[in-house]
Structure 1
Amino acid sequence: MSFFYNYSANNQGLEIEGVQGQSVFSVAKGKVVYIGDTFKNYGKLIIIKHANNYLSMYGFNKNIFIKLNDQVSENQKISTIGCLDNNLSKLYFEIRFKGNPINLLKLFPNIKLKQH
């Protein structure tokens, strides 16, 4: 599995290489607060609100198995990875605290990054 760190000033998420149709799981229990494609840079996006003002974001989904306002559990299958216009399959993943992105490389220092 390869990870690409997104260096954009607007976010600090990870782009995780995958296979189209691969399962995506919630990182923690929470409530689904957004499902849609309004934010074009993320494809079909899922946002889950967790305890203590945390949000998890999952972008570039294909099949979505949850609905808005659903309560999800930790490790619950929420979607599958989709395929972008350039035939690249990946998942965009981001964590926010009180609306601000968290640098995931500080949370997961063992992630090996691949330049793109």
Structure 2
Amino acid sequence: MPEVERSPAKAKHTTGIKPLPDKGSSVATARTQTKPLQSKIVTKPVKPGPVNKRIKLSWTWPTKGKVVQTFSKSDQNRKGIRIQGHMGQPVRAAEAGKVVYAGGGLVGYGNLVIIKHDQEFLSAYGYNRKLLVKEGDKLAKGDIVAHMGSPNRGGQPMLHFEVRKQGKPINPLPLLPRK
């Protein structure tokens, strides 16, 4: 029978071992064994889980009353808004979050509550007569955090309300629903 030549693309390797050079050859090479590449692609279904999703915040007014001072980018004394009310009036969380500060240690704010809502937003509630939360408390939107006080003794009761985005004060009025 005549011998049939096969093209290298169609030839089958059965042993996977390279032949040794002739004994008379001056070049010695090491014997190597090669295996055909096997690639297995295993896919697993993706389970929905805690992905760092950005949820849309839906702000609400922290208290009832007339806005007596608005935000100003250029005036350092107007980093938020001031809402006039009456002494002891409830002050509520404008959005759900975690209390990261509750105390009277920041000059110019009186008794202050700061709530962290997500990685970007904080809200601050100043001039309170009495704080009802402590650091670490988790709050739902609308939870009462304090009772309104005044910026100075005998002054008109009001709430100082700030929203900060990535640490910088922003105008809270566009975030709040229309009255």
- Stretches of 4+ aligned residues off by more than 2 angstroms: 6-12, 104-111
- CA RMSD for the aligned pairs? 2.0
Q: Deviations over 1:74-99 (max 9, x none)?
A: 10011110133233100000000110
TM-score, normalised to structure 1, is: 0.84
Distance (Å, rounded) in 2 between the aligned partners of 1:52 and 1:41: 26
Q: Larger helix proportion, structure 1 or 2?
A: 1
Q: How many Å apart are 1:40 and its aligned residue?
A: 2.0
Q: Percent identity?
A: 35
Asked if 1:90 is matched to 2:155, the reply is: no
Could you tell me the TM-score, scaled by structure 2's length? Answer: 0.56
CA contact (8 A) 1:24 1:80 kept: yes
Structure 1 position 9, deviation (Å): 2.4
Number of aligned positions between the proteins: 111
Residue 42 of structure 1 aligns to a residue whose secondary structure is coil
Higher relative CO (Cα under 8 Å, sequence separation at least 6) belongs to 1
Alignment partner of 1:60 is 2:124:
no
2:96 paired residue number: 29
Alpha-carbon distance change, 105 to 86 in structure 1, aligned in 2, over 3 angstroms: same
Give the structure with higher Rg (CA).
2
Which aligned pairs between 1:33-112 and structure 2 lie closer than 5 A? Answer: 33-83=100-150, 84-108=152-176
Could you tell me which runs of 5 or more consecutive residues in structure 2 were left unpaired when the two chains were aligned. Answer: 1-64
